[in-house]
Structure 1
């Protein structure tokens, strides 16, 4: 064999070995990346169920047949104040301060049923505080129903800087009640099809709690919802599915409460940035989901006059709602002022017919 042929064979073997090394290296790192993503997007092992009913017997007390009910819906924004979803770190003291303010305000209202959205149960961003437990204990309401809607081992968001990543995420929503919650069914909806598949791996679930609440001889059906916030088409589809479920029941004493991410009223000053770039029009379009529910069920919105709940420091829109069936009439619609969340509460006194 000539020297040239030997050199050619050597170069071919070397090139082949190099390609194999590059391929195996890429395969190795792809495997590591895939395993990391799978691990991060998978749910945490929890010390409690994904949904459930809780009774604190020490808070139970004999109750007369009520003539009315005070209902509150409140998106507490994980008790992160007006900086909810921003790329910052919240000290534990700030979360506890906001939770105490929320508890004190709710305690003053002495409500019968409270729907709470954006609650953390065991999340790194809020220092592992079980916010539902905190509020139930503070308010001494004996009955609770909850559902986990976001359970990820590691949430890499906000994207940058890495030290701000939320990490372990266990959050959801809950209803606290003075009256027994006898049953809970969970309605789960698909994630937005417009999201990238990998984005939906980490995205929260949208779930509705359907509760039976026993108020002496009356059985109240309550749907507690937090519908899609960022994709109007998905929000409308969820509202359509929810309306179908509500209308199928067709109950006189029925309630739908929560953050529906669909406006009933919009108030935007000319100086507001929402008046620029077509943003006002976007908000106006977000009426569709709420209008679908009102047009396709027997439910009625509690307020008739303009009322605003978001953002808490300068409310310009109402996306938090209490809808009621024909077995109730609404009165005394109000809220309390607080910057412990980016939402204001919505409080309604309902007369039972």
Structure 2
């Protein structure tokens, strides 16, 4: 009897060891990256598209910021099985919304480059080619072999993820830098292992012979203290450029002026910066027409365009409602000229 018991315990122990070992192996494989890290910050030249001539007479330029939510519409981060048709239709909607504006610069957040969840379509390439952009600066912020989220059902897992931020430009991108911001602190190790990198993407773009700094950011959504540190760091970065160049600071700041669930609106740090102004005037920041999230019934402003008023003048701003529910965010547009 004892021999049988020991044998059963031995088998159970081996089985447990195999299961535990398999979980550990899966964890390390799934949370690992497989995209070449030297391509995490890359400038891409698109086919059949040329730079706008720097002798062009145009003196008004259009910039757009858009958290495209990997074209998942209102299903973003939900445990809903989606179809390829959904992503193809949302891609068509985005292209149709942006095309009439003829934007010179577009900054995207949450744009998939080669992800299973969005059927492995390079969304940056598709949009750039459809809108005849000359160049794109691509910054990878999520490169995982298998992301087991949403947790249930298993069929809804994101699986392979290659995603990031992108700046599309009709003018020459002179330089491109990818800076990883502070990571979340109050989360378990396994959460951090699969979590995205929050980025500041910094480009220098030659517009009619003038170097312009365009910073594209996507700040922490769920941990206020981390977002605070990230915002303070962005302030430090800005100080390197605001006295030398025209600067555009744009993106998804994940902070709204409305209190309630957001008792520490970190966006105030930037709104109080004397070197910056918001494309949406201060008096309009809480207007319904300035809201960007959620896209079906916008009640919060998470997306902003800031500029240096010493060197840039706003001509017009607006929310691009024609993007409909291609993402859970709406894009924000600003037309500007140099002073």
Shared fold, TM over 0.5: yes
Aligned to 1:29: 19
Q: Single out whichever of 326-335 and 160-169 deviates more from structure 2.
A: 326-335
Please, which of 275, 278, 295 is the counterpart of residue 301 of structure 1?
A: 278
Aligned to 2:251: 258
Deviation at 1:94, TM superposition (A): 1.2
2:64 and 2:177 map into 1 onto residues whose CA distance is 21
1:334 and 1:100 map into 2 onto residues whose CA distance is 21
Contact map agreement 2:252 2:303 (CA 8 A) in 1: yes
Aligned to 2:311: 327
Higher Cα radius of gyration = 1
**In the alignment, is residue 42 of structure 1 matched against residue 42 of structure 2?**
no
Aligned to 1:199: 191
Aligned to 2:335: 349
Deviation at 1:46, TM superposition (A): 5.6
How many residues matched? Answer: 327
Please, which of 45, 53, 63 is the counterpart of residue 62 of structure 1?
A: 53
**In the alignment, is residue 165 of structure 1 matched against residue 157 of structure 2?**
yes
Contact map agreement 2:35 2:143 (CA 8 A) in 1: no
2:112 and 2:47 map into 1 onto residues whose CA distance is 24
Measured against aligned partners, the alpha-carbon deviations of 1:83-125 in whole angstroms (never above 9, x if no partner) come to: 2211112211110010011011111111111011111111111
- For structure 1, list consecutive stretches of 5 or more residues without a partner in the other structure: 1-9, 267-279
Aligned to 2:127: 135
Measured against aligned partners, the alpha-carbon deviations of 1:27-76 in whole angstroms (never above 9, x if no partner) come to: 33221110011111111346982220011252114241542221110111
Aligned to 2:236: 244
Q: 1:105-120, aligned counterparts within 5 Å?
A: 105-120=97-112
Q: 1:47-126, aligned counterparts within 5 Å?
A: 49-56=39-46, 58-60=48-50, 61-63=52-54, 64=56, 66-126=58-118
For 2:225, what is the secondary structure of its paired residue? helix
2:57 and 2:261 map into 1 onto residues whose CA distance is 45
Measured against aligned partners, the alpha-carbon deviations of 1:165-185 in whole angstroms (never above 9, x if no partner) come to: 111111111010111111011
Measured on the aligned residues, the alpha-carbon RMSD in Å equals: 2.0
TM-score by length of 1: 0.87
Deviation at 1:296, TM superposition (A): 4.3
Contact map agreement 2:41 2:177 (CA 8 A) in 1: no
TM-score by length of 2: 0.91
Contact map agreement 1:145 1:184 (CA 8 A) in 2: yes
Contact map agreement 2:241 2:247 (CA 8 A) in 1: no
Aligned to 2:260: 281
2:53 and 2:241 map into 1 onto residues whose CA distance is 30
- For structure 2, list consecutive stretches of 5 or more residues without a partner in the other structure: none
For 1:282, what is the secondary structure of its paired residue? coil
